[in-house]
Structure 1
Amino acid sequence: MIIQGTETLTSLIHILSESLLTPVIILLVISVIIVILSFGGVINEYISRKPISSKELEDLIRKVSFSNNVSEMKSVIEKSNLFDYQKEILVRIANNHDIGSDARKALASELISSEETRLIKKTNKTDILIKVGPILGLLGTLIPLGPGLASLGTGDISVLAQALTIAFDTTVTGLSVGALSYLISKYKKQWYESDLINVETIAEAELETLNKW
């Protein structure tokens, strides 16, 4: 009775395992599409990105620090080569020049933190695929090997060959998805981290200047 129960459970697991192959392959295809689109987006972003240089950053900080009023400060920021979202944060800080210094500092911190959260979300997909891609590749490797090895016992080499082909293809695809996702996330995070550091640096100069008035 125990043996029969074990055989039933084993058969159930076998059926469940084999039924997962198609969803795994579908998910791998979807992952490849996402990575290709993300890679294209990174190339486009790299071409269109024109971050300010260290010299431009230095000049901007000096102009902000020596501004005589809020209008002049906002004009300096808006005419700079900063990205639009960076300008928006700094202008919003300047617009709140009439509140207390502590409240203004807290507002600046919140604005920068919110922007950081928004930028992090832009790498969520590839961050997930860094781990999910290789896992799907491993599943695609192991699932077809069961029937393939079983066919070896009956001498059906063609089934084993087909299983090995699927196993190698899914492994290569999964690892490629993971590797490309890692590179995409790495470079995008480096860009965004650099952008946020620039905003924080200018915001510090901006807050210091506003506190003097």
Structure 2
Amino acid sequence: MIIQGTETLTSIIHIFSESLLTPVVVLLVVSGVIIILALGGLINEYISRKPISSNDLENLVRRISFSNNVDQMKSEITNSNLFNYQKEILIRIANNYDIGCDARKAFASELISAEETILIKKTNKTDILVRVGPSLGLLGTLIPLGPGLAALGTGDIATLAQSLTIAFDTTVTGLTIGALAFVVSKYKKQWYEAELIDVETLAETELEVINNW
């Protein structure tokens, strides 16, 4: 009785495992398309992006420091080599020069935190694929091995060869997706962290200058 129950459960698990192969392959294909698009986006962003240099940042800090009024400060920011979202944050801080010191500092911190959240979301997909890609590859490796080993026991070399082919293909695909996703996330996070540091530096400069007016 116990043996029959175990065999029934084993059969259910086997059927469930076999049914996962098609969804795993489909998810690998979808993940492959996503990572190809993400890699293309990374290359395009690398070519088109022109971050502010350290010398330009230093000069901008000095120009903001010697601003006599909010219009001059906003003009220096607008004419700088900053990205548009960086300019928007700094101009919004400058526009609120007339509120209290603590409120202005809290507002600046909130603006930067909100932008940081937006930038983090841009790497969510690739962050997920770093883990999911190899996991799908492993599933695609193990699932066909069951039928393959069963075919080996009956001498069905053709079925074994087909199962091993699927296993190797899914493994390579999953690992490649994970590796590329890691590269995309790594570079984008480095860029965004550097940009946010620039914004924080300039925002602190703004707040100090405004407090002294």
What TM-score do the two structures reach when normalised by structure 1? 1.00
- The answer as to 2:46 corresponding to 1:50 is no
Q: Deviations over 1:152-171 (max 9, x none)?
A: 11110110100000000000
- The answer as to 2:151 corresponding to 1:147 is no
Q: Per-residue deviation at 1:39?
A: 0.3
Aligned to 1:198: 198
Q: Per-residue deviation at 1:90?
A: 0.1
Cα distance in structure 1, aligned partners of 2:161 and 2:51: 52
Q: Per-residue deviation at 1:139?
A: 0.1
Cα distance in structure 1, aligned partners of 2:151 and 2:197: 59
**Matched AA of 1:208:** E
Q: Deviations over 1:38-90 (max 9, x none)?
A: 00000010011000100000000000000000000000000001000000000
Mapping of residues 202-213 of structure 1, within 5 Å: 202-213=202-213
**Matched AA of 2:16:** L
Aligned to 1:134: 134
Aligned to 1:110: 110
Alignment partner of 1:80: what SS? coil
Alignment partner of 1:97: what SS? coil
Identity of aligned residues (%): 77
- The answer as to 2:5 corresponding to 1:9 is no
**Matched AA of 1:139:** L
Q: Deviations over 1:124-158 (max 9, x none)?
A: 00000000000000000000000000111111011
Q: What is the number of equivalent residue pairs in this alignment?
A: 213
Q: Deviations over 1:169-202 (max 9, x none)?
A: 0000000000000000000000000000000000
Alignment partner of 1:10: what SS? helix
- The answer as to 2:176 corresponding to 1:176 is yes
Cα distance in structure 2, aligned partners of 1:167 and 1:110: 49
Cα distance in structure 2, aligned partners of 1:104 and 1:206: 10
Cα distance in structure 2, aligned partners of 1:41 and 1:171: 25
Aligned to 1:60: 60
Aligned to 2:91: 91
How much is the aligned-residue C-alpha RMSD, in angstroms? 0.4
**Matched AA of 1:185:** S
Aligned to 2:35: 35
Q: Per-residue deviation at 1:15?
A: 0.3
What TM-score do the two structures reach when normalised by structure 2? 1.00
Cα distance in structure 2, aligned partners of 1:65 and 1:204: 10
Aligned to 1:125: 125
Unaligned regions of 5+ residues in structure 2, if any?
none
